[in-house]
A and B are shown apart, each in its own frame.
Chain A
Amino acid sequence: MKKDRPQSSTWENRALRMLLFPAGVLVVYGILFAVMPEKASIGLKSSGNIILNMLVPLSLVFILMLALNLFLKPAQIVKFFGRGASIKGVILSAVAGIISTGPIYAWYPLLKDLREKGAANSFLAIFLGNRAVKPFLLPIMISYFGWIYVLILTVFTVLGSIVVGYFVGALVNVENNLPSRSK
């Protein structure tokens, strides 16, 4: 029982933090409906329109999420990218970043563990950069910006992340990077 307490309190803290922003927005709307009901109504209507326009792309997002969860296991791929500086490592860390899901905070413990086992800095940086590319969110992005823009943005993000990885690998050496030694 004692062991469970810190975990559940962390979960509760996270849940509270996650709901803080929505609660704040609701409070703002509550105040505005009391003070400026016309403007608040316009705002709510505008939000409703945005949500309506997003329904189809959001459904596609869910389907793509399901497909990715069914067929891809990013955590397994991540385990390979510490082994030697190679093209394979670059590709695997980029792919792992692209298919990784959930908040980045959930990934830090695994990345830390890999870091301590000698994973290359460049691969960790490539992973973090490529988290900006999310295949399952493409329907939403395309609905706003069109596929040509999305294609260019995606290609440049992946290439940019690899360049960042190269520079991080060159500038940060392993010895003074470990959190335990930096204290």
Chain B
Amino acid sequence: MKIAITADGADLEAKVAQKFGISKYLVIIDLDSGDFEAVPNPGASAQRGAGIQAVMLTISKDVKTVLTGWCSPAVRHQLATNGIEVISGLSGTVRELVEKYRKGDLQKQAEAEVESAARRRRIDRGTLLQAAESSARQFASLLPILISVILLIGLFNAFVSKELIASILSGTPVLDTLWGACFGSIVAGNPINSYVIGGELLKHDVSLFAVTALIITWVTVGLVQLPAEIAALGRKFALVRNAISFVLFTGVAVLIVVVFNLIMGYLC
């Protein structure tokens, strides 16, 4: 049985070359007879395709195992499809590696490498499955409320006219913003619902001030979950945080629309 060792020199005392494709020599050892030959690697001086030239040389020499410092996945695949095993991550002299190989030490290392790679692949697949499950759960949990909100918006579209909304909303930025902030502060839930409601309200000519205030206070202020926040984080914290959030984000909503209008005015 023959093994090939990538080497910097043409003898058994040469150091193991770190890259299979561009190593200076392939030292080929016949383990049965003990004979060896050092073959210059055509890939060492190649501008392109160094790896494949080294692969062809290895195949032509009827080698069963390659010992090297590093081997690219593509070259490793080429060798594997030709029935050649690769043991990488090695250093030392050619002679030392031959001795270790004869004792079976390197084969154990290779088995451990294969097992570790398989374990990594299993963990990756497991993590992916876990993430997919978790995402599916999150996604499924937001659907019942989202679809219900959309069904209600459908009714809203069927029953409420633009004129009716215009009569409710004054059309002044300050009052519209307050209206939106109050609505957004009272209701709660996944912010996706506020986007859908806000987007549909815009189609009914509700001002962007009201819609922005609704969206921004939907999560930042939460009257519905206030008891739970008080229980978890204390009365003063919950009241102060919600009060400051209401005041500040109502102002921020106005600022957002002003900046947006300025930018759009500049762009158009």
**A residues touching B (Cβ–Cβ < 8 Å)?**
18-19, 21-22, 24-25, 28-29, 32, 39-40, 42-48, 50-51, 54, 61-62, 65-66, 69-70, 101-105, 108-109, 111-112, 115, 121, 124-125, 128-129, 131-132, 134, 137, 140-141, 143-145, 148-149, 152-153, 156-157, 160-161, 163-164, 167-168, 171-172, 176-179, 182
Please measure, in the bound complex, the distance between the C-alpha atom of A172 and the C-alpha atom of B73, giving whole angstroms.
Answer: 58
Question: Given A22-B145, A65-B139, A129-B220, A43 and B237 touching (CB < 8 A)?
Answer: no
Q: Which of A18, A125, A153, A164 has the most CB of B within 10 A?
A: A164
The answer to whether A70 and B128 have CB atoms under 8 Å apart is: yes
0/1 string, B209-243, CB within 8 A of A gives 1: 00010011011101001001111111111001100
Q: Secondary structure at chain B's binding surface: helix, strand, loop or mixed?
A: helix
The answer to whether A153 and B215 have CB atoms under 8 Å apart is: yes
Please measure, in the bound complex, the distance between the C-alpha atom of A167 and the C-alpha atom of B59, giving whole angstroms.
Answer: 72
**B residues touching A (Cβ–Cβ < 8 Å)?**
127-128, 130-132, 134-135, 138-139, 141, 144-145, 147-148, 150-159, 188, 190-192, 195-196, 198-200, 202, 212, 215-216, 218-220, 222, 225, 228-237, 240-241, 244-245, 248-249, 252, 255-256, 259-260, 263-264, 267
**Inter-chain contacts of A172 with B (CB < 8 A):** 234, 236-237, 240-241
The answer to whether B237 and A25 have CB atoms under 8 Å apart is: no
Please measure, in the bound complex, the distance between the C-alpha atom of A148 and the C-alpha atom of B218, giving whole angstroms.
Answer: 20
Please measure, in the bound complex, the distance between the C-alpha atom of A43 and the C-alpha atom of B212, giving whole angstroms.
Answer: 25
**Inter-chain contacts of A171 with B (CB < 8 A):** 240, 244
Minimum CB distance partner of A42 in chain B: B158
The answer to whether A32 and B155 have CB atoms under 8 Å apart is: yes
Question: Given A101-B138, A111-B233, A124-B237, A144 and B244 touching (CB < 8 A)?
Answer: no
Minimum CB distance partner of A72 in chain B: B131
Please measure, in the bound complex, the distance between the C-alpha atom of A131 and the C-alpha atom of B192, giving whole angstroms.
Answer: 12
**Inter-chain contacts of B225 with A (CB < 8 A):** 104-105
**Inter-chain contacts of B153 with A (CB < 8 A):** 46-47, 50
Question: Given A152-B256, A157-B220, A39 and B158 touching (CB < 8 A)?
Answer: yes
Please measure, in the bound complex, the distance between the C-alpha atom of A103 and the C-alpha atom of B142, giving whole angstroms.
Answer: 10
Question: Given A149-B260, A172-B237, A179-B230, A131 and B216 touching (CB < 8 A)?
Answer: no
Question: Given A121-B237, A167-B244, A179-B230, A65 and B157 touching (CB < 8 A)?
Answer: no
Minimum CB distance partner of B219 in chain A: A132
**Inter-chain contacts of A62 with B (CB < 8 A):** 135, 139
The answer to whether B196 and A124 have CB atoms under 8 Å apart is: no
Q: Which of A22, A66, A132, A153 has the most CB of B within 10 A?
A: A132
Please measure, in the bound complex, the distance between the C-alpha atom of A22 and the C-alpha atom of B142, giving whole angstroms.
Answer: 12
Would you mind naming 14 contact pairs between A and B with Cβ atoms under 8 Å apart?
A18-B141, A39-B158, A45-B154, A102-B138, A104-B222, A112-B232, A115-B234, A132-B191, A134-B191, A144-B196, A148-B263, A153-B215, A156-B216, A160-B248
Question: Given A70-B128, A144-B196, A163-B248, A168 and B237 touching (CB < 8 A)?
Answer: yes
Please measure, in the bound complex, the distance between the C-alpha atom of A132 and the C-alpha atom of B153, giving whole angstroms.
Answer: 22
Please measure, in the bound complex, the distance between the C-alpha atom of A48 and the C-alpha atom of B158, giving whole angstroms.
Answer: 13
The listed residue (B131, B191, B235) touching A69 by CB distance below 8 A is: B131
Q: How far is the CB of A23 from chain B (nearest CB, A)?
A: 9
Minimum CB distance partner of A108 in chain B: B232
**Inter-chain contacts of A61 with B (CB < 8 A):** 139, 192
The answer to whether A51 and B244 have CB atoms under 8 Å apart is: no
**Inter-chain contacts of B259 with A (CB < 8 A):** 152, 156
The answer to whether B220 and A164 have CB atoms under 8 Å apart is: yes
Please measure, in the bound complex, the distance between the C-alpha atom of A178 and the C-alpha atom of B249, giving whole angstroms.
Answer: 26
Question: Given A152-B256, A156-B255, A43 and B191 touching (CB < 8 A)?
Answer: no
**Inter-chain contacts of B141 with A (CB < 8 A):** 18, 102
**Inter-chain contacts of B219 with A (CB < 8 A):** 131-132
Please measure, in the bound complex, the distance between the C-alpha atom of A115 and the C-alpha atom of B230, giving whole angstroms.
Answer: 12
Question: Given A112-B232, A167-B244, A18 and B144 touching (CB < 8 A)?
Answer: yes
The answer to whether B252 and A44 have CB atoms under 8 Å apart is: no
**Inter-chain contacts of B240 with A (CB < 8 A):** 167-168, 171-172
